[in-house]
Chain A
Amino acid sequence: MAAMLGLAFSFPQLHAVKIGVLHSLSGTMAISETSLRDVVMMAVKEINAGGGVLGEQVEAVVVDPASDWPLFAEKAKQLINEEKVAVTFGCWTSVSRKSCLPVFEEENALLFYPVQYEGEEQSLNVFYTAASPNQQLVPAAEYMAKEMGCKKFYLLGTDYVFPRTANKVLKAYLKAQGVPDENVMEEYTPFHHQDYQTIVSKVKEFAASGDACILSTINGDSNVPFYKEFANQGLTSDDCPIMAFSVSEDELRAMDVPPLVGHLAAWNYFQSIKTKENASFVKSFKKYCVEAGLPGGAKRVTCDPIEAAYFGVYVWKAAVEKCGSFDVDKVRKAVYGLEFDAPGGKKSMHPTNQHTLKPVYIGEILKNGQFKIVYSSDGLVSPDSYSSYLWPDGNFPKPTGGPNGDGSL
């Protein structure tokens, strides 16, 4: 109803295909998600400048789910039913995706989801363009154990689903590597936790043997007090390196970086990847931010989710052009196995499981908030929708959604 009121004020464009942008612009998640909205808008601008898709201009419909999970479902419905979008790009947190997933499945619409998450999901109505756990967690733990020689692991996270599942995968991996249980510690803090004194003192005790590391899934604003306390109690990356799974260039922009220098993060893309394509991507993103007058301007940086959101639009475009139609079922089939050039290098979509084949990088944090890449995987790593560490028998659940609503194609 409210959407109809809105419709009355919008001006219909001829020969335009609509796409939905479903990222929070207010509330707690706005800090992360606005960047993704920006980069999607940039991709749309580029595509339109290049003649659009199948000869049609692309019109982006932006809504604000306001970091409110039920509102994600509401806005998704509005995009699909009222605005008739061909595809939607959006969501950041798992719970927001879970909240609007039933809508996409019922309406058989398509969502491109650009953020690394805990896996354990495979809906035919979603393409996951960021990492599944085996494309980020396991290589990072392997790096710590083999290259850094760590024997003890402190799994520290914010208490929500991604860290819980991530640590489940990590524990299973470490167990398989023969790390004894007493050498693995696990600890969670509430959202927005600010006082890390006790935890850091525990870490200090744990790391006294000199061969320990932290695998951190601490989220958002808790990172600042954590790293500060870590440095203040006299610990350095030599004493106990921290491998973070949720700290990217965009987050570092908002942090006091010196206490973080020398610590690590694992992603599938860094702004510091040295290729011509990436240099021009970074350049055009910064230019776009300056020209559009966005806050931050030239100080804006690219990071893994930004790249994933960006190439998601191009994957959709390529698939539409491959099948010559905007029809969801045809586009879906065209996406499977698609190979494409992303800013971070060549990547491809998995032929069946909705996820993306990506390289894995590990970077060391520099003073300027960028990463020095210290490890890169040999070629692309294939994604697991369901972790083989949690489903050792390989008897994964069936996919869900799709044209028939039951996970069949």
Chain B
Amino acid sequence: MDASQVATPSINTEVGQLIKNLASSDVDIVKDSIGELAKTADPRLEKFFELYRQGSVYNWPTDSGVVRIVVNEETIMDDDFNEFAPLLDPLSGEPYLVADVQAKPDLLELEDISPSRKLRSLVNSSKFLLRLFSTDYTVRLSGVKKCGDPSFLPAAIPYLEEIANDETEDEKIRFTAKESKELMVLSGAVEAKKSTEDRLFALSKLGDLKSLRAYARLDTFEGELESMPELSTQELSEAKASISLIRKKIQDHKDTVELSGNLFRGVSYGSVLVLIALGLAITFGLMGVINMAHGELMMIGAYTTYEVQMLFGHTPDNPVNHYYLAALPIAFLVAAVVGLIMEGLVVRHLYNRPLESLLATWGVGLLLIQVVRIIYGDNIGVNSPTWARGGFEISQDIVLPYARLYLLGLSVLSVGFIYFIIRKTRFGMLIRATMQNRDMASSLGVRTRKIDRLTFALGSGIAGVAGYGWTIIGGVTPDMGQTNFIVDSFLVVVTGGVGELLGVICSGLGIGVLTKLIEPLEIGTFTVGPVWGKVILLALIVGFIQYRPSGLFAPKGRLADKK
């Protein structure tokens, strides 16, 4: 017996033979085999078809020319950078063993059997059909959805009906199955239900489902009806009336989704702004230091997260998700220490010269950027923990991404933490005393130097936490502080009113929500979009500062005595 057959018993089955046929040079045999495979409803085949479509399925013929179907997705390199292709079994996905070790031939030994262009769409639709039988929730959901997307798969209708009527099945999947089925009827893809009445009936069902997918097809459908010669004027206008009724129905739903979506996005963006401005609210707001290196402290937090990830060995394939929780306190500490050093060397000389502190901290920022760039040489990819991918569908069509929810929580937590420290602890009381009247505090025995140092470290640490949080939604580069954060965070603090925590929260959330409400606005043919949105927002803030030169809440603390 051939070694490969021992290693991969699945090849001996009927499915195995069909798969072997894919290596045939006869297009008809390949085509028939694909059709047969799709009919088997074997859940293992879904993944196989995905790989087959992608071109990751190969024939690795033995020396005697026996067909061996294998899978290779990614190649590996040895220490001398020679490239090899580790092989996998096409059905089980386990390593493809030859003599008990995974086969790793040279890539050039593999024979490409990827489907020809003509067969691609067939492979694709077979893939979606097979997904209906998958045991994985997300795969099944995507199969149920894709069957009802163009180009439609009427062959799936019996299965879809089965799924839709299956009481034990997940609600979302059942809903999507119904939707997909009706969408196919609506599009006229189902031979048995091609009449206009049938299609209108399907549409009314979709209206009841408040299907956004149907909404996207309304125009096409209406256009199709108009070009139908067999419809009388009366019928046409009736059909149109019912379409516009349904359009209105779904439109209401869509408006709700959009509005609540925009509000959530605004709050989420606002929470990010609050988070990035929070550290600055302490160093700038309370202490009066124009800390232009604030963004770089965030960058330090982000790079610390990266280092912690490396330390835990987290990769997408081999997730060690708790690295992300461990990184939170570490990022805080590292950034706080950097802040402490910065305070000791530079900032402490500049408490009375705010404008000069701007220059010096800018210099420190440049220095930090370049040092990080020299060490890491490049930007780096922080891999988010796997739970941060995807979102939570709170009601039909309103998805709240987990990453955003986490950030929202993180910023609530950080605000709470700062509030607690400043308002409820003795340390916080000393901070307030020192910032409001340094001389008096000093004469009462407060060691103001130490308080300064610790306050600055606290602000820096919170900046580090912001950088840590940022990695879950954004990229990490050495100059991320300068390009992304510094202007925004100062604007938030200044708008909110220097020295007032509540001001930062209000202005951060306000700016966030306002941005997200302005961005999608359409005035005539002009869509505001992100660029003009940002310009308009900046203009609004400039206008607002005219109106309230000291922000939402008047400043207290050191800055109030000075200017």
> Touching in the complex, A and B, CB below 8 A?
yes
Enumerate chain A interface residues (CB-CB to B < 8 A).
26, 28, 30-31, 34, 147, 149, 151, 159, 182, 187-195, 197-199, 201-202, 205-206, 208-211, 221-225, 228-229, 231-234, 236, 238-239, 253-259, 272, 274, 276, 279, 282-283, 286-287, 294-296, 298, 364, 366-368, 370, 372-374
Q: Which residues on A sit within 8 Å (CB–CB) of B258?
A: 201
User: Looking at the complex, which of B14-22, B37-45, B262-270, B351-359 is the stretch in contact with chain A?
Assistant: B262-270
The one of B219, B378, B520 in contact with A31, judged by C-beta atoms closer than 8 angstroms, is B378
Tell whether B427 is near chain A: CB-to-CB under 8 Å.
no
A190 near B377: Cβ-Cβ < 8 Å: no
Q: How far is the CB of B122 from chain A (nearest CB, A)?
A: 12
B381 within 8 Å of A (CB atoms):
yes
Which A-chain residue is minimally distant from B79 (CB atoms)? A298
Excluding A195-B515, A208-B213, A287-B81, 20 further A-B contacts by CB distance (< 8 Å) are: A34-B378, A182-B219, A188-B530, A190-B530, A190-B531, A191-B483, A192-B484, A205-B216, A208-B216, A210-B213, A225-B473, A232-B388, A238-B145, A282-B81, A282-B83, A286-B81, A295-B375, A370-B74, A372-B73, A374-B55
Question: CA A303 – CA B112 in complex, angstroms?
Answer: 23
Report which of B220, B317, B393, B531 forms a contact with A159, defined as CB distance below 8 A.
B531
Chain B residues near A234 (CB-CB < 8 A): 390-391, 393, 399
**Cα A159 to Cα B529 with chains together (Å):** 11
A287 to B82, CA, bound (A): 11
Which residue of A34, A151, A201, A223 has the most chain B CB atoms within 10 A of its CB atom?
A: A201
Task: Convert B463-483 into 0s and 1s, putting 1 for each residue whose CB lies closer than 8 angstroms to a CB of A.
Answer: 000000000111111011001
Q: Are the CB atoms of B74 and A366 closer together than 8 Å?
A: yes
CB of B143, distance to nearest CB on chain A (Å) = 9
Residues of A within 8 A of B349 (CB): none
What is the bound-complex CA distance between A147 and B77, given in angstroms?
32
Cβ proximity bits B208-237 to A, threshold 8 Å, 1 near / 0 not: 000011011101100000000000000000
With A and B bound together, what is the CA distance between A232 and B150 in angstroms?
A: 24
Q: How far is the CA of A387 from the CA of B82 in the complex (A)?
A: 41
Pick the residue among B370, B393, B401, B477 that contacts A232 (CB under 8 A).
Answer: B401
Given A224-B475, A234-B390, A374-B55; A199-B530 close (CB under 8 Å): yes
Q: Within the assembled complex, what's the spacing in Å between the Cα atoms of A279 and B78? A: 13
Least Cβ–Cβ distance between A16 and chain B, in angstroms: 29
Given the complex of chains A and B, what is the CA–CA distance between A273 and B361 in angstroms? 48
The answer to whether A205 and B404 touch across the interface, beta carbons within 8 angstroms, is: no
Decide if A187 touches B215 in the complex (CB within 8 Å): no
A-B contact pairs, 7 of them (CB 8 A): A31-B477, A222-B475, A229-B473, A234-B390, A274-B108, A276-B108, A364-B54
Q: Is the CB of A367 within 8 A of B317?
A: yes
Q: Considering the complex, which residues of chain B in the window 366-384 have a beta carbon less than 8 Å from any beta carbon of chain A?
A: 370, 373, 375-384
Q: Which residues of A contact B402 (CB under 8 A)?
A: 232
Lowest 4 A-B CB distances belong to which pairs?
A295-B377, A210-B149, A224-B475, A232-B401
Smallest Cβ distance from B57 to chain A, in angstroms? Answer: 11
Q: Is B516 an interface residue (CB 8 A)?
A: yes
B379 and A221 contact, CB distance less than 8 A:
yes
Q: Are B379 and A210 in contact (CB under 8 A)?
A: no
Give CA–CA (A373, B114) in the complex, Å: 11
- Complex Cα distance, B108 from A366, in Å, reads 19
Q: Output the least CB separation between B251 and chain A (Å).
A: 12
- Provide the residues of chain B in CB contact with A229, threshold 8 Å: 401, 473
Which residues on B sit within 8 Å (CB–CB) of A233? 391, 399, 401
By a CB distance below 8 angstroms, the chain B residues around A279 are 82-83
- Contact of A366 with B73 in the complex, beta carbons under 8 Å: yes
Could you say which residues of chain A place their CB within 8 Å of the CB of B561? none
Point out the residue from A208, A256, A286 that lies within 8 Å of B382, measured CB to CB.
A256
Give the residues from 289 to 334 in chain B that come closer than 8 angstroms, CB to CB, to chain A.
Answer: 316-317
By a CB distance below 8 angstroms, the chain A residues around B73 are 366-367, 372
Cβ B390 vs Cβ A231 within 8 A: yes
- State whether B74 touches A28 (Cβ < 8 A): no
Contacts of B216 in A (CB 8 A): 205-206, 208-209
Chain A residues near B83 (CB-CB < 8 A):
279, 282-283
CA distance A223 to B530 in the complex (A): 15
Partner of B212, one of A198, A205, A366: A205
Asked if residues A294 and B377 are in contact (CB atoms below 8 Å), the reply is yes
Selected from A149, A195, A208, A283, the residue in CB contact (under 8 A) with B215 is A208
Contact A197 B384, CB 8 Å, known A295-B377, A296-B377: no
**B534 sits at the interface (CB 8 A):** yes
Please pick, from A28, A236, A257, A276, the residue contacting B483 in the complex, using a CB distance under 8 A.
A28
On whether A210 and B378 interact (CB within 8 A), knowing A224-B474, A232-B389, the answer reads: no
User: Which of A197, A236, A255, A257 is most buried by chain B, counting CB atoms within 10 A of its CB?
Assistant: A197
A110 to chain B, nearest CB (A): 30
Chain B residue at minimal CB-CB distance from A284: B81
B132 to chain A, nearest CB (A): 14
Contacts of A225 in B (CB 8 A): 473-475
Cα of A274 to Cα of B75 in the assembled complex, Å = 11
Residues of B within 8 A of A256 (CB): 316, 381-384
Complex contact A149–B151 (CB within 8 A): yes
